């Protein structure tokens, strides 16, 4: 089957697989603590895809042109025996990049095993090196020290290049950006500053809380002169900048101020098997039901190809001054970042 393109001529190249909707933090932009408290009911185990089901979907996607697989959550390291899934997925012929996004809290105990299973690299969410700000951002569920230990463990295990993702929220952590950049300068780790996005409905997003990419760059550049760098590959989401003194690089993801929908090649799979074609989608297509009702591999390929060909998503280009108030968008903890 020929690799499908969507209605805007975009190929399918990346599949992000959320393996759990649970997390050990309560970051305000994803799972605010006042909503995701002790009484919140997460998905029961029977509703979550098995590793064998995830592998079948991934194989179908790779047969249609996917080359990059990323494991996300929730916090993916809370899913039992995750290296078993990594090994299955890394062994699929055609997979060129196998990565994982984590908050890093428990990463130190898993890094070596993940690398041995076939994981290529990790991205760690870290919104500030100020302990108080860090806790304010994560709902006061975790401390900074184990995250930094996890980053070091990942580096020793060879899960590189390590990317450190910082969601920038004006008035909350934007005064700590330079410190974060300084800490990782001179390492091989790449800090990526992400404009605060209106993913989901529960994070109280407001355009006034967004610090635009130009302002983020200006703050870093005032301390450390930068120069732009060409993308590593077509559709790369981060604008790359290197330090003029050769001490490494940073990235800035400008989904709000400078949308990159025209180059988006990503689909997302939720823990319960919903295939979603946009981070800001209001819904998706159930793949669990056909899987459990006996769909063949050819059936899965046909479903995925049809979904992708019909895709018209370009939410970031159509975004208005405020996020939609109707509560329709899928929450981030169900489809990753």
| CB-based burial, 171-191: b 16+ in 10 Å, e otherwise | ebbbebbeebbeebbeeebbb
The domain spans of the chain are: 14-335
Q: Mean of the pLDDT values across residues 13-26?
A: 96
Among 81-85, 147-151, 199-203, which is the least confidently predicted range?
199-203
Is 60 exceeded by the pLDDT of residue 246?
yes
Task: Tell me what pLDDT residue 220 has.
Answer: 98
Which is more confidently placed, 246 or 279? 246
Q: What average pLDDT does the structure give for the chain? A: 94
SS3 190: strand
Please indicate whether residue 1 or residue 72 has the higher confidence score (pLDDT). Answer: 72
Average pLDDT over residues 318-333: 68
List, for residues 26-35, the tens digit of each pLDDT value.
999 999 999 9
Contact 177, 217 (CB under 8 A): no
Report pLDDT for 142: 87
Average pLDDT, stretch 220-231?
97
User: What is the homologous superfamily of the domain 14-335 according to CATH?
Assistant: Aldolase class I (3.20.20.70)
């Amino acid at each position: 089957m020929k690799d499908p393109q969507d209605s805007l001529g975009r190929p399918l190249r990346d599949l992000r697989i959320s393996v759990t909707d649970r997390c050990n933090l309560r970051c305000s932009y994803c799972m605010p603590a006042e909503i995701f408290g002790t009484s919140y009911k997460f998905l029961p185990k029977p509703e979550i895809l098995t590793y064998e089901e995830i592998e079948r979907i991934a194989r179908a996607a790779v047969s249609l042109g996917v080359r990059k697989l990323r494991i996300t959550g929730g916090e993916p390291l809370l899913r039992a025996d995750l290296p078993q899934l990594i090994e299955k997925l890394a062994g699929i012929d055609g997979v060129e990049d196998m990565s994982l996004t984590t908050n890093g809290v428990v990463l130190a105990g898993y890094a070596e095993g993940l690398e041995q299973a076939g994981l290529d690299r990790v991205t760690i969410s870290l919104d500030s090196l100020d302990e108080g700000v860090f806790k304010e951002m994560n709902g006061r569920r975790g401390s900074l020290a184990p995250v930094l230990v996890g980053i070091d463990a990942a580096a020793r295990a060879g899960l590189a290049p390590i990317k450190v993702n910082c969601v920038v929220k004006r008035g909350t952590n934007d005064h700590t950006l330079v410190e974060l950049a300084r800490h990782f300068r001179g390492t091989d780790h790449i800090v990526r500053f992400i404009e605060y996005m209106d993913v989901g409905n529960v994070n109280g997003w407001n355009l006034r809380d967004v610090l635009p990419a130009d302002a983020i760059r200006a703050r870093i550049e005032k301390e450390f002169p930068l120069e732009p760098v060409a993308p590593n590959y077509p559709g790369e989401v981060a604008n790359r900048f290197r330090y003029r003194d050769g001490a490494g690089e940073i990235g800035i993801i400008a989904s709000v101020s400078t949308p990159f929908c025209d180059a988006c090649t990503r689909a997302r799979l939720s823990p319960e098997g919903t295939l979603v074609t946009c981070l800001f989608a209001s819904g998706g297509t159930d793949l669990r039901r056909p899987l459990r009702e006996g769909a063949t591999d050819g059936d899965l390929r046909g479903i995925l190809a049809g979904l992708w060909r019909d895709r018209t998503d370009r939410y970031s280009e159509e975004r208005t001054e405020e996020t939609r108030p109707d509560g329709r968008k899928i929450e981030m903890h169900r489809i990753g970042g």
